[in-house]
């Protein structure tokens, strides 16, 4: 890790450390969280009478990240397998006196490391929530503006039935908001303090153990666990899964933007300043680079989530290896999720919608996506099977001959529907089903969520 640039820095930091997420996932963020945990532990001991309050105050005053060298601690961590051991040694040196004897009292390295991991997850999660919320607002605006903008719905990458861009944006909105809401809930309920001592019994704290755990959780601002979770890693897996869901929602929207921005489709484009989305070779290129970057960040999630899921299988009361494997994977997953959400927000900010291209692409198929509507209209008179066969034959003839589908259908349906009726049936704007109602439903949910997040005030 870079001390300043987060889990991903240097050459790749501008792409994979987007939107300030690196400040909450890098070395400085972890060092802050580790020190916050040690300070909270000292204050918890003071609250239950195990440590003098002035000693706890001295320890807290010394837990200042700027007074520690993250790189040096990282190098020293090789000797013990985790950075808490050298951190405690340096904190002890800096505090000095009798107060130094109370540092890390009753805890094991994993207690501090796990608590720090949950603090990092909470703090980084707030950054993810900010970017996801901004992107959701932009999607709601798009859904509202384009609720009647007709475009081709596509299944298996082929045109199917007409839909609206408003409904497409509403679908992106629903997925993003639902996943972001789930992540917030997981971080609120499942991000817990860790305090179990060397083997999960809190033996060194005697009868005061449970009271110290309660005070520690309160001081550090995390949920109080029922039991130590040293080798029961469901909490980490829950956080990982929730982050993966946000990446999935962001990646879905970004991937669709990339497809809709293809030269041959041209239904949306990212409009940004000079030099944005350009190519080193092709001067004409205008790549949707924000959407591409969002997709690239989101694509990292499955492997990282898999690592954290696999690391749940931990030995006995303290793990040898799987626990250690969590730290970089969690940092990178948090950063990938924050970056994916930030890039999606940027893409939506730049997005220009091209309704004319959407109509033209839908018309390019000669009305074939509307064949189902003709079948549905004829079914009450002919029965579903016969209606389907008549329309299928007309579609086949139009495709083979190159003639206009409306003309061929009118001939095949002579006496059943005239040309004007056929033209009306082939108008995609008249076959949008419940799309307008679905858009309104998504917008109502968005407004409700916004009101709730603002303490019940309408926004």
Q: Show which residues are catalytic.
A: 279, 318
Measure the CA–CA gap between 370 and 367, rounded to whole angstroms.
Answer: 6
Residue 34: both structure tokens together: 């580790």
Residue 20: both structure tokens together: 């300030």
Q: Which residues pair with 221 in a beta bridge?
A: none
Phi-psi region of 163 (alpha: psi -120 to 50; beta: other; left: phi over 0): beta
DSSP 233-297: THHHHHHHHHHHHHHHHHHHHHHHHHHHTSTTT-SEEE---TTTT--SS-TT----HHHHHHHHH
Q: How many CA atoms lie within 13 A of 253 on its CB side?
A: 36
Please report the beta strands in 311-440, taking only residues with DSSP state E, as ranges in sequence order.
351-353
Measure the CA–CA gap between 84 and 43, rounded to whole angstroms.
Answer: 18
Q: Enter the DSSP assignment of 224.
A: P
């Amino acid at each position: 890790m870079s001390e300043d640039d987060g889990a991903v820095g240097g050459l790749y930091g501008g792409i994979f450390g987007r939107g300030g997420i690196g400040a909450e996932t890098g070395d400085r963020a972890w060092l802050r969280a580790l020190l916050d945990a040690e300070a909270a532990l000292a204050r918890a001991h003071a609250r239950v009478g195990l440590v003098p309050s002035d000693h706890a105050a001295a320890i807290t005053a010394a837990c200042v990240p700027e007074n520690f060298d993250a790189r040096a601690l990282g190098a020293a961590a090789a000797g013990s397998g985790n950075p808490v051991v050298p951190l405690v040694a340096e904190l002890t040196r800096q505090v000095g006196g009798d107060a130094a004897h109370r540092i890390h009292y009753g805890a094991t390295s994993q207690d501090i490391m796990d608590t720090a991991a949950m603090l990092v997850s909470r703090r980084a999660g707030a950054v993810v929530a900010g970017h996801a919320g901004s992107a959701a607002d932009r999607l709601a605006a798009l859904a509202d503006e384009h609720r009647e903008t007709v475009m081709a719905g596509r299944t298996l990458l082929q045109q199917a039935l007409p839909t609206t861009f408003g409904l497409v944006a509403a679908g992106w909105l629903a997925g993003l908001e639902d996943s972001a809401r789930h992540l917030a809930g997981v971080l609120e309920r499942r991000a817990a303090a860790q305090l179990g001592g060397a083997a999960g019994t809190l033996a060194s704290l005697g009868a005061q153990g449970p009271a110290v755990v309660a005070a520690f959780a309160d001081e550090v601002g995390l949920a109080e666990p029922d039991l130590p979770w040293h080798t029961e890693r469901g909490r980490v897996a829950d956080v990982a899964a929730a982050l993966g869901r946000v990446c999935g929602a962001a990646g879905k929207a970004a991937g669709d933007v990339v497809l809709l921005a293809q030269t041959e489709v041209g239904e949306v484009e990212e409009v940004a300043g000079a030099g944005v989305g350009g190519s080193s070779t092709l001067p004409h290129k205008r790549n949707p680079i924000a959407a591409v970057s969002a997709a690239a960040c989101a694509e990292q999630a499955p492997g990282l989530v898999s690592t954290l899921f696999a690391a749940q299988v931990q030995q006995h009361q303290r793990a040898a290896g799987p626990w250690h494997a969590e730290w970089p994977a969690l940092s990178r997953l948090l950063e990938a999720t924050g970056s994916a959400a930030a890039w999606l927000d940027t893409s939506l900010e730049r997005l220009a919608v091209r309704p004319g291209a959407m109509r033209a692409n839908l018309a390019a198929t000669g009305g074939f996506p509307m064949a189902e509507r003709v079948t549905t209209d004829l079914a009450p008179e002919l029965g579903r099977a016969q209606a389907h066969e008549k329309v299928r034959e007309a579609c086949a003839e139009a495709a083979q001959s190159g003639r206009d589908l409306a003309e061929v259908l009118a001939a095949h349906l002579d006496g059943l529907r005239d040309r004007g009726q056929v033209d009306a049936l082939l108008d995609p704007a008249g076959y949008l089903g419940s799309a307008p109602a679905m858009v309104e439903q998504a917008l109502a949910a968005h407004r409700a969520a916004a009101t709730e997040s603002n303490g019940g005030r309408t926004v």
